[in-house]
Amino acid sequence: MLALLALTAGCTSAAPRGQSHTQVCTVTRVSDGDSLRALCPGLGGVTRIRLRGIDAPELRQRYGQQARQAVLALCQKQAIRIPARPARDRYQRVLADVHCGGVDVSLRLVQSGLAWVYRPTAAEYPRLVQAERRAQRARLGLWGDAHPVAPWTWRRQHANR
């Protein structure tokens, strides 16, 4: 019984945004500004994770490398919590609100002007929407460009290249 309590204690502590049943993973790689890989024993090993609520510039896009570096600085080798039964996107990546060292990664990127709020889920993230507006007004990061290109537009423009 004591062993069972020890195993479950790490999986049910307080978690962001209502994720009451979570598992601990360790970030092993930052792919770009909105996706990473983490060792998640509860999911069978290394798992691809997509940050919910944002869409960061692609790596070959302006500000893409800066967004990746920001996530790398926050999260590399950090423990993160993800839902025990996570939702997945169409590419089978785990969708999660990620906090590294107590920092909401999506919020930090948006505040810095290194990511857009992901439009289809914007209503779920009013803090991100407010942060994006503040970053736009302050002309931070990509908002300093006269005509920043959203990643979804950039992907469409570069789909056949």
* Residue 93 annotated among the catalytic residues of the structure: yes
Q: Is 128 exposed, middle or buried (0-12, 13-18, 19+ CB in 10 A)?
A: buried
What does the block give as tokens for 151? 């990643």
> Are the CB atoms for 95 and 88 separated by under 8 Å?
yes
* Residue 60 annotated among the catalytic residues of the structure: no
Helix segments in the chain, DSSP class H: 2-9, 64-75, 105-111, 126-138, 151-157
Q: Is 160 exposed, middle or buried (0-12, 13-18, 19+ CB in 10 A)?
A: exposed
DSSP class per residue in 44-59: TEEEEEEETTEEPPPT
* Residue 137 annotated among the catalytic residues of the structure: no
List 58, 68, 81, 132, catalytic entry: 58
List 50, 52, 68, 108, catalytic entry: 50
List 52, 68, 81, 93, catalytic entry: 93
CA distance 29 to 35: 9
Catalytic center residues: 50, 58, 93
